Structure 1
Amino acid sequence: MVTTLCSVALLLVVVALLSATGDGVAALDAQAAYLSRLKQELAGPAMARWDFSSATPVDYCRFQGVVCGGSNVTGIDLTSWRLTGRLPPGICAALPALRDLLLAYNEIRGGFPAGLLNCSSLETLNLSFASVSGALPDLSPMRALRALDLSDNLFSGAFPATSIANMTSLEVINFNENPGFDVWRPPEALTRLRRLRVLILSTTSMRGGVPAWLGNMTSLTFLELSGNSLTGRIPASLGRLANLEFLELYYNDLEGAIPDELGNLTRLADVDLSENHLDGAIPDSLCALPRLRVLQLYTNFLAGPIPAVLGNSTQLEILSVYKNQLTGELPADLGRYSDFNVLEVSENQLTGPLPPYACANGKLQYILVLSNLLTGTIPAAYADCLPLLRFRVSSNHLEGDVPPGIFALPHASIVDLSYNHFTGSVPPSIAGAKNLTSLFASANRLSGMLPPEIADVWGLVKIDLSNNLIAGPIPAAMGRLVRLNQLSLQGNRLNGPIPETLADLRSLNVLNLSENALSGQIPEALCALLPNSLDFAGNNLSGPVPPAMIKEGLLESVAGNPGLCVAFRLNLSDTALPLCQKGGEKRGFAGSSWIVGVCCVVCVVAMLALARRWVTRRRELKDGEQDGTSSPGSRGGGLSSYDVTSFHKLNFDQHEIVEALIDKNIVGHGGSGTVYKIELSSGELVAVKKLWVSSSKTKQQRQKQHQHRGHGHGHGYGHGRGYGGGEEDDSRELRTEVETLGSIRHKNIVKLYCCYSGADCNLLVYEYMPNGNLWDALHGGAGGGWGGFGFLDWPTRRRVAIGVAQGLAYLHHDLLFTIVQMLAESGPPPGSRSAKDYPGQKPKPAEAK
Structure 2
Amino acid sequence: MQAAQLPLYHSLLSTHHSTTLHDSPFHILNACSSLPPYLKPHLKHLICTMAMASSLSLALALSLLPLLALSLRSQSDFLSLVKQSLQGPAMARWDFNRSGEDSYCSFPGVACDNDDFVVAIDLTSWFLSGNFPPRACSALPRLRVLGLGFNDVRSGFPVDPLRCSALEDLNCTHARITGTVPDLSPFRSLRSIDLSNNLFRGDFPISSLANLTDIEVINFNENPYFNVWRLPEIITRLTKLRVLILSTTCMRGEIPAWIGNMTSLTDLELSGNLLGGQIPPTLGKLAHLQLLELYYNKLTGEIPEELGNLTRLIDIDLSENHLVGSIPESLCRISSLQVLQVYTNNLTGGIPRVLGNSTALTILSVYGNKLTGEVPPNIGKFSNLIVLEVSENQFSGELPRDACAAGKLLYFLVVKNNFSGGLPATYAECKTLLRFRVNNNQLSGLVPQGLFGLPHASIIDLGFNNFEGIISKSIANAKNLTALFLPSNRISGILPPEIGLATSLVKIDLSNNLLSGPIPAEIGNLSGLNQLSLQGNKLDSSIPDSLSSLKSLNVLNLSNNLLTGEIPDSLCELLPNSLDFSNNQLSGPIPFPLIKQGLIDGVSGNPQLCVPFYVNLSNPSFPLCPKPNLRRRLNNMWIIGLCAILSIIGILLLIKRWFNKKNAIVEQDGFSSSSSFSYDVTSFHKLSFEQHEIVEALIEKNIIGHGGSGTVYKIELSNGELVAVKKLWSRRTKDKSQDELFLDRELRTEVETLGSIRHKNIVKLYCCFSGIDSKLLVYEYMPNGNLWDALHHGKSFLDWPTRHKIAIGIAQGLAYLHHDLLFPIVHRDIKTSNILLDADFEPKVADFGIAKVLQARGVRDTSTTVIAGTYGYLAPEYAYSMKATTKCDVYSFGVVLMELVTGKKPIELEFGENRDIIQWVSSKMSTKQVAMEVLDKRIWNPPKEEMIQLLKIAVRCTCSNPVLRPTMNEVVLLLIEAHPCKPDVNGSFKLVELKQCKA
Q: Which range, TM-score by smaller chain? A: 0.5 to 0.7
SS of corresponding position for 2:252 = coil
Which residue in 1 is equivalent to 2:539? 494
User: 1:549-698, aligned counterparts within 5 Å?
Assistant: 549-567=594-612, 572-583=617-628
Amino acid paired to 1:583: P
Which residue in 2 is equivalent to 1:742? none
Question: Cα distance, 1:223 vs. partner?
Answer: 0.8
Q: Does the Cα contact within 8 Å between 2:507 and 2:532 map onto a contact in 1?
A: yes
| Aligned equivalent of 2:590, options 536, 541, 545 | 545
Amino acid paired to 2:89: P
Which residue in 1 is equivalent to 2:549? 504
In the alignment, structure 1 residue 220 sits paired with structure 2 residue 275: no
Q: Closer, same or farther in 2 for the Cα pair 1:581/1:216, shift >3 Å?
A: same
Which residue in 2 is equivalent to 1:148? 193
Q: Does the Cα contact within 8 Å between 1:305 and 1:326 map onto a contact in 2?
A: yes
| Aligned equivalent of 2:88, options 44, 52, 57 | 44
Question: 2: distance between equivalents of 1:430 and 1:39?
Answer: 57
Question: 2: distance between equivalents of 1:427 and 1:171?
Answer: 58
Question: 2: distance between equivalents of 1:433 and 1:31?
Answer: 61
In the alignment, structure 1 residue 178 sits paired with structure 2 residue 223: yes
Which residue in 2 is equivalent to 1:361? 406
Amino acid paired to 1:216: N
Q: Does the Cα contact within 8 Å between 1:293 and 1:318 map onto a contact in 2?
A: yes
Bigger drift between 575-584 and 214-223 goes to: 575-584
Amino acid paired to 1:548: P
In the alignment, structure 1 residue 443 sits paired with structure 2 residue 488: yes
Amino acid paired to 1:9: S
Amino acid paired to 1:28: L
SS of corresponding position for 2:527 = coil
Question: 2: distance between equivalents of 1:234 and 1:207?
Answer: 14
Q: Closer, same or farther in 2 for the Cα pair 1:56/1:546, shift >3 Å?
A: farther
Which residue in 2 is equivalent to 1:372? 417
Q: Closer, same or farther in 2 for the Cα pair 1:48/1:500, shift >3 Å?
A: farther
| Aligned equivalent of 1:387, options 404, 429, 432 | 432
Question: 2: distance between equivalents of 1:448 and 1:335?
Answer: 34
Q: Does the Cα contact within 8 Å between 1:91 and 1:116 map onto a contact in 2?
A: no
SS of corresponding position for 1:310 = helix
Question: 2: distance between equivalents of 1:10 and 1:93?
Answer: 35
Amino acid paired to 1:377: G
Which residue in 2 is equivalent to 1:130? 175
Which residue in 1 is equivalent to 2:690? none
Question: 2: distance between equivalents of 1:383 and 1:198?
Answer: 43
Q: Closer, same or farther in 2 for the Cα pair 1:585/1:108, shift >3 Å?
A: farther
SS of corresponding position for 2:150 = coil
Q: Does the Cα contact within 8 Å between 2:386 and 2:411 map onto a contact in 1?
A: yes
- Which string of whole-angstrom CA distances, capped at 9 and with x for unpartnered residues, describes residues 731-773 of structure 1? xxxxxxxxxxxxxxxxxxxxxxxxxxxxxxxxxxxxxxxxxxx
| Aligned equivalent of 1:245, options 290, 300, 311 | 290
Which residue in 2 is equivalent to 1:308? 353
Which residue in 1 is equivalent to 2:563? 518
- Which string of whole-angstrom CA distances, capped at 9 and with x for unpartnered residues, describes residues 202-232 of structure 1? 1111111111110111111111111112111
Bigger drift between 188-197 and 269-278 goes to: 269-278
Question: 2: distance between equivalents of 1:120 and 1:417?
Answer: 62
| Aligned equivalent of 1:453, options 498, 505, 511 | 498
Which residue in 1 is equivalent to 2:112? 68
Question: Cα distance, 1:69 vs. partner?
Answer: 2.7
| Aligned equivalent of 1:205, options 247, 250, 260 | 250
Q: Does the Cα contact within 8 Å between 1:299 and 1:323 map onto a contact in 2?
A: yes
Question: 2: distance between equivalents of 1:123 and 1:496?
Answer: 76
| Aligned equivalent of 1:27, options 68, 71, 75 | 71
TM-score, normalized by length of structure 2?
0.56
Question: Cα distance, 1:49 vs. partner?
Answer: 2.4
Amino acid paired to 1:290: S
Q: Closer, same or farther in 2 for the Cα pair 1:282/1:20, shift >3 Å?
A: same
Question: 2: distance between equivalents of 1:79 and 1:145?
Answer: 19
SS of corresponding position for 2:500 = helix
TM-score, normalized by length of structure 1?
0.66
Q: Does the Cα contact within 8 Å between 1:543 and 1:584 map onto a contact in 2?
A: no
Question: Cα distance, 1:550 vs. partner?
Answer: 1.4
Question: Cα distance, 1:68 vs. partner?
Answer: 2.7
Amino acid paired to 1:266: T
Which structure has the larger Rg? 1
Question: 2: distance between equivalents of 1:207 and 1:294?
Answer: 26
SS of corresponding position for 1:453 = helix
Stretches of structure 1 that go unaligned for 5 or more consecutive residues are 588-849
SS of corresponding position for 1:519 = coil
Question: Cα distance, 1:572 vs. partner?
Answer: 3.5
Question: 2: distance between equivalents of 1:6 and 1:367?
Answer: 81
Question: Cα distance, 1:120 vs. partner?
Answer: 1.4
Q: Closer, same or farther in 2 for the Cα pair 1:453/1:194, shift >3 Å?
A: same
Q: Does the Cα contact within 8 Å between 1:394 and 1:417 map onto a contact in 2?
A: yes
- Which string of whole-angstrom CA distances, capped at 9 and with x for unpartnered residues, describes residues 578-632 of structure 1? 2222239999xxxxxxxxxxxxxxxxxxxxxxxxxxxxxxxxxxxxxxxxxxxxx
SS of corresponding position for 2:316 = strand
Amino acid paired to 1:87: F
Q: Closer, same or farther in 2 for the Cα pair 1:459/1:586, shift >3 Å?
A: farther
Two-structure CA RMSD over aligned residues (Å): 2.3
SS of corresponding position for 2:173 = coil
Q: Closer, same or farther in 2 for the Cα pair 1:239/1:584, shift >3 Å?
A: farther
Which residue in 2 is equivalent to 1:270? 315
In the alignment, structure 1 residue 482 sits paired with structure 2 residue 491: no
Question: Cα distance, 1:399 vs. partner?
Answer: 0.7
Question: 2: distance between equivalents of 1:290 and 1:56?
Answer: 57
Q: Does the Cα contact within 8 Å between 2:292 and 2:315 map onto a contact in 1?
A: yes
In the alignment, structure 1 residue 335 sits paired with structure 2 residue 344: no
Question: Cα distance, 1:461 vs. partner?
Answer: 1.3
SS of corresponding position for 1:74 = strand
- State percent identity of aligned pairs: 60
SS of corresponding position for 2:563 = strand
Q: Closer, same or farther in 2 for the Cα pair 1:86/1:308, shift >3 Å?
A: same
- Which string of whole-angstrom CA distances, capped at 9 and with x for unpartnered residues, describes residues 652-683 of structure 1? xxxxxxxxxxxxxxxxxxxxxxxxxxxxxxxx
Amino acid paired to 2:254: G
Amino acid paired to 1:210: I
| Aligned equivalent of 2:206, options 140, 161, 165 | 161
Q: Which has the higher helix share?
A: 2
Amino acid paired to 2:619: D
SS of corresponding position for 2:254 = coil
Bigger drift between 48-57 and 260-269 goes to: 48-57
Q: Closer, same or farther in 2 for the Cα pair 1:584/1:554, shift >3 Å?
A: farther
Question: 2: distance between equivalents of 1:301 and 1:481?
Answer: 42
Question: 2: distance between equivalents of 1:6 and 1:102?
Answer: 44
Question: Cα distance, 1:33 vs. partner?
Answer: 2.3
Q: Does the Cα contact within 8 Å between 1:52 and 1:58 map onto a contact in 2?
A: no
Question: Cα distance, 1:11 vs. partner?
Answer: 11
Question: Cα distance, 1:436 vs. partner?
Answer: 1.2
Stretches of structure 2 that go unaligned for 5 or more consecutive residues are 1-13, 22-56, 633-999
Which residue in 1 is equivalent to 2:156? 111
Which residue in 2 is equivalent to 1:805? none
Q: Closer, same or farther in 2 for the Cα pair 1:539/1:170, shift >3 Å?
A: same
Amino acid paired to 2:105: C
In the alignment, structure 1 residue 349 sits paired with structure 2 residue 358: no
SS of corresponding position for 2:586 = strand
Question: 2: distance between equivalents of 1:156 and 1:174?
Answer: 16
Question: 1: distance between equivalents of 2:575 and 2:542?
Answer: 20
Bigger drift between 231-240 and 94-103 goes to: 94-103
In the alignment, structure 1 residue 323 sits paired with structure 2 residue 332: no
Amino acid paired to 1:38: V
Q: Closer, same or farther in 2 for the Cα pair 1:67/1:451, shift >3 Å?
A: farther
Which residue in 2 is equivalent to 1:98? 143
Which residue in 2 is equivalent to 1:415? 460
